[in-house]
């Protein structure tokens, strides 16, 4: 049941404030300023390093979480795509926690990577949407994301719920390891509880995304740029766009632009720049200006301060509510998804069932 929406994807995008709120309530029960994990949980004082493995969108959730675990908890993190990890057979040092992220919990490569780690990693964790899945059953600790059934082949609400659970886990790791005081943890938790409300505001103000998408639909290639936490999200934005609109899209870390991709810039190629007004904003904007100087067509996704400061010369500006920098990738996922969605609708593609793709990839 599409609940009055034209596509499951539209419904699932709209559900995100509710399901992210649900995930938050499961791990951060009201009236308490600590993180509650299922079962025995995990004591991060026993963990020296984290290896995260997944495919596709779930892999981009892992890449985002690397920034959180490293910045908040000071745990070194390695991230790999499952199909590479499993055949590389990497050494797993003692005191490693291996973490597998999968919406379906049945992705063949991710499951094989998990099985490779059994008996090698001290802890096998998973972040899954289907609690009865193989990946959940074969983990020491499975953390459900509470997104509800996801039907659209392009993952949307599972991605933001994966991010939410991974951020909560990073907060728990930081608290366990003394990297975050109880007061700082309480502050972070309070901020996170406000996220669904910001997501509602972002969805309510999404009309400019729709308008911009009508023009994006004319493009043959699109570039996404971001720095720090916005870099994995740029990768996810590019994946969403190519999956459902069949437009070729690529993402780069903004700082990599001048190392090659800047040669692609011309007036026909839209460049989507994701840049909340945070500590890295000036750096990203200076990369954006290199694009503008070569007559590139820039879509800037930022907050009010960022847009006021940097809007000169941009083709389209998408305004997000102001958000704590750590939460920005979850909030900015919404315009990235909507951009892909409206572009695909404008092109008339099969949004919920894109060609050549399956919801669950159980063969390698
Ligand atoms: C993209 C998408 C895929 C999946 C990937 C992993 O929108 O849905 O890239 O993220 O196939 O699937 P799961 O999470 O089920 O392991």
CA 184 to chain centre: 24
Q: Give the integer Cα–Cα distance in Å for 128 and 147.
A: 9
Three-state SS sequence of 109-169: HHHHHHHHHCCCCCEEEEEECCCCCHHHHCCCEEEECCCCCCCCCCCCHHHHHHHHHHHHH
Burial of 175 (0-12, 13-18, 19+ CB in 10 A): buried
How remote is the CA of residue 124 from the centroid of ligand 1, in Å? 20
**Residue of 113, 129, 155 to mutate, ligand 1, most atoms within 8 A of C-beta:** 155
Pocket of ligand 1 (CB under 6 A): 55-58, 102-104, 107, 110, 154-155, 239, 243, 360-361
**What SS3 class is residue 243?**
helix
Contacts for 290-297 with beta carbons within 8 Å, 24 or more apart?
290/257, 290/258, 290/262, 291/225, 291/257, 291/262, 291/265, 294/262, 294/265, 294/266, 295/265, 295/266, 295/267, 296/265, 296/266, 296/267, 296/269, 296/271, 297/267, 297/268, 297/269, 297/270, 297/271
Residue to substitute in 57, 59, 358 for testing ligand 1 pocket (most ligand atoms within 8 angstroms of CB): 57
Q: Where in the sequence numbering do the catalytic residues fall?
A: 359
pLDDT of residue 75: 98
Of ligand 1's listed atoms, the one at least distance from the Cα of 55 is 6
Ligand 1 center to 334 CA (angstroms): 17
What does the block give as tokens for 73?
A: 């908890």
Question: How far is the centre of ligand 1, averaged over its atoms, from the C-alpha of 79 (Å)?
Answer: 16
ipTM of the modeled complex:
0.99
CB 291 within 8 A of CB 258: no
Mean pLDDT by 10 residues, the chain (364 residues): 95 98 97 93 97 98 98 98 97 98 98 98 98 98 98 96 98 98 97 98 95 95 98 98 97 96 94 97 95 96 97 96 98 98 96 88 87
Locus of tokens 């490779």: 116
Task: Give residue 85's pLDDT.
Answer: 98
Q: For residue 56, report the distance from its CA to the centre of ligand 1, in Å.
A: 5
Beta bridge partners of 50: 77, 97
Contact (Cβ atoms closer than 8 angstroms) between residue 85 and residue 250: no
Which contiguous run of DSSP H or E holds residue 8?
Answer: helix 8-14
Q: How far apart are CA 304 and CA 291, in angstroms?
A: 21
46 contact partners, CB below 8 Å, separation of at least 6: 95, 122, 123
Q: Which residue's alpha carbon is at the smallest distance from atom 5 of ligand 1?
A: 56
Instruction: Name residue, tokens 């419904």.
Output: 11
Q: How many residues does the chain have?
A: 364
Please tell me whether the overall predicted TM-score, pTM, comes out greater than 0.95 for this model: yes
Q: In angstroms, what is the span from residue 270 Cα to ligand 1's centroid?
A: 26
Angle at 276 between CA 213 and CA 291, to 5 degrees: 60
Mutate to test the pocket of ligand 1, among 80, 101, 107 (most ligand atoms within 8 A of CB): 107
How does pLDDT run across 119-144, given as a tens digit for each residue?
999 999 999 999 999 999 999 999 99
Q: What tokens appear for 117 in the block?
A: 């780690």
> What single string gives the DSSP state of each residue in 334-362?
HHHHHHHHHHHHHHT--SSS-TT--SS--
Question: Which one, of 311, 242, 314, lies nearest residue 277 by Cα?
Answer: 311
């Amino acid at each position: 049941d599409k609940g009055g929406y034209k596509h499951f994807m539209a419904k699932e995008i709209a559900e995100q404030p509710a399901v992210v709120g649900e995930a938050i309530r499961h791990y951060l029960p009201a009236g308490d300023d600590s993180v509650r994990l299922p079962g025995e949980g995990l004591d991060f004082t026993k963990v020296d390093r984290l290896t995260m493995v997944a495919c596709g969108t779930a892999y981009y959730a892992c890449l985002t979480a690397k920034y959180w675990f490293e910045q908040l908890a000071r745990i070194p993190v390695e991230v790999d795509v499952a199909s590479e990890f499993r055949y590389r057979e990497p050494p797993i040092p003692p005191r490693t926690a291996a973490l597998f992220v999968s919406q379906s919990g049945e992705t063949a490569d991710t499951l094989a990577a998990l099985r490779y780690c059994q008996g090698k990693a001290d802890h096998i964790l998973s972040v899954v949407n289907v609690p009865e899945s193989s990946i959940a059953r074969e983990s020491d600790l499975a953390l459900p994301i509470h997104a509800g059934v996801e039907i659209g082949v392009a993952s949307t609400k599972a991605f933001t719920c994966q991010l939410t659970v991974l951020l909560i886990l990073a907060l728990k790791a930081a608290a366990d390891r003394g990297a975050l005081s109880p007061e700082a943890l309480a502050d972070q938790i309070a901020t996170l509880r406000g996220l669904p409300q910001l997501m509602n505001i972002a969805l309510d103000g999404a009309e400019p995304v729709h308008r911009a998408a009508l023009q994006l639909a004319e493009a043959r290639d699109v570039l996404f740029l971001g720095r720090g936490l916005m870099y994995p999200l740029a990768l996810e934005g590019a994946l969403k766009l190519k999956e459902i609109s069949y437009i070729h899209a690529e993402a780069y870390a903004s700082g990599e632009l001048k190392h090659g991709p800047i040669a692609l810039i011309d007036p026909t190629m839209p460049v989507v720049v994701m840049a909340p007004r945070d500590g890295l904003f000036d750096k990203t904007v200076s990369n954006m200006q290199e694009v503008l100087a070569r007559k590139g067509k820039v879509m800037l996704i930022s907050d009010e301060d960022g847009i006021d400061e940097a809007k000169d010369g941009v083709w389209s500006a998408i305004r997000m509510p102001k958000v704590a920098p750590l939460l920005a990738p979850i909030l900015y996922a919404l315009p990235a998804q909507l951009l892909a969605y409206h572009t695909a609708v404008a092109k008339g593609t099969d949004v919920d069932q894109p060609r050549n793709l399956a919801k669950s990839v159980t063969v390698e």
